[in-house]
């Protein structure tokens, strides 16, 4: 009896494994990319927030459009590198100030002039793997977690890019980063 119960458990597990492998295999790259973007937190920083009943929540009408261009910020507080509080952000989590200066979450929508419209898949994969702006130029600044995203498989990175091509393009010009005070 005990052996039979163990066999049933193995059978159940095998069916589960086959089913989840089947679901992954049958997902299109766009569906897979949508799923990955949802679970890996891209919206946390790249989708601005509006105030809902429980505080800030993603503003899905501006899905992945980055730091809102019409949001005018004063200069950030003068943080001391050695102080226990070293990094500040806006309630929208789209602008960040720290030892690297001020960084603004990029517009990931396919808009041609202000988003990833002119990017190729290769540029996106290189940017995420090497931490270089557009895959080749200046270092991508914190808190963009490219070091974690770099660990994704090629297929997953390409799936994210495929999904980003399908979201509504939003015209939103995100400012360039501001270097740390004293380094200009
Ligand atoms: C903790 C906040 C945060 C999270 C989470 C995050 N990003 Fe970013 N991301 C940023 C910031 C800030 C920048 C701008 C960095 C800069 O200007 O150097 C950025 C920049 C980018 C860029 C532009 C890079 C370039 O070459 O200029 C891409 C593409 C990008 N993020 C994709 C993603 C994707 C895809 C995810 C989810 C898998 C993600 N980000 C998650 C904060 C974040």
Mean pLDDT estimate for the chain: 90
Binned at pLDDT 50, 70 and 90, residue 22 comes out as low
CA separation for the pair 47, 59 (Å, rounded) = 7
Domain ranges of the chain: 29-164
Choice between 2 and 137, residue whose per-residue pLDDT is larger: 137
Which protein residue has the closest C-alpha to ligand 1 atom 10? 144
Q: Separation of 13 CA from ligand 1 center, angstroms?
A: 37
User: What per-residue confidence (pLDDT) applies to 42?
Assistant: 98
Q: Which residues line ligand 1 (CB under 6 A)?
A: 40-42, 44-46, 96, 103, 105-106, 108, 127, 133-134, 140-141, 143-145, 149, 160, 177
Residue 134 has pLDDT above 70, yes or no: yes
Å from CA of 119 to ligand 1 middle: 14
- Segments of the chain assigned E as strands: 49-52, 55-58, 88-89, 95-98, 101-104
Calculate how far, in angstroms, residue 118's C-alpha sits from the geometric centre of ligand 1: 17
The pTM score is: 0.89
pLDDT tens for residues 140-161?
999 999 999 999 999 999 999 9
Distances (CA, A) of 140 to 60, 86, 102, 127, 133: 25, 19, 12, 8, 5
Taking the CA of residue 94 as reference, the ligand 1 atom at the shortest distance is: 12
How does residue 129 score in pLDDT terms, banded at 50, 70 and 90? very high
């Amino acid at each position: 009896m005990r052996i039979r119960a163990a066999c049933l458990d193995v059978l159940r597990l095998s069916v589960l494994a086959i089913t989840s492998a089947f679901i992954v295999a049958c997902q299109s790259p766009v569906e897979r990319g949508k799923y990955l973007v949802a679970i890996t937190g891209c919206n946390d920083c790249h989708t601005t927030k509006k105030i809902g009943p429980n505080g800030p929540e993603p503003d899905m009408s501006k899905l992945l459009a980055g730091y809102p261009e019409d949001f005018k910020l004063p200069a950030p507080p003068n943080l001391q590198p050695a102080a226990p509080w070293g990094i500040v952000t806006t309630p929208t989590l789209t602008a960040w100030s720290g030892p690297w200066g001020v960084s603004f979450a990029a517009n990931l929508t396919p808009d041609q002039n202000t988003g990833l419209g002119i990017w190729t898949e290769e540029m996106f994969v290189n940017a995420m793997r090497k931490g270089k702006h557009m895959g080749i130029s200046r270092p991508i600044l914190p808190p963009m977690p490219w070091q974690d995203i770099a660990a994704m498989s090629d297929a997953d990175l390409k799936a994210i890019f495929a999904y980003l091509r399908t979201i509504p393009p939003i015209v939103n010009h995100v400012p360039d980063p501001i270097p740390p005070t004293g380094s200009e």
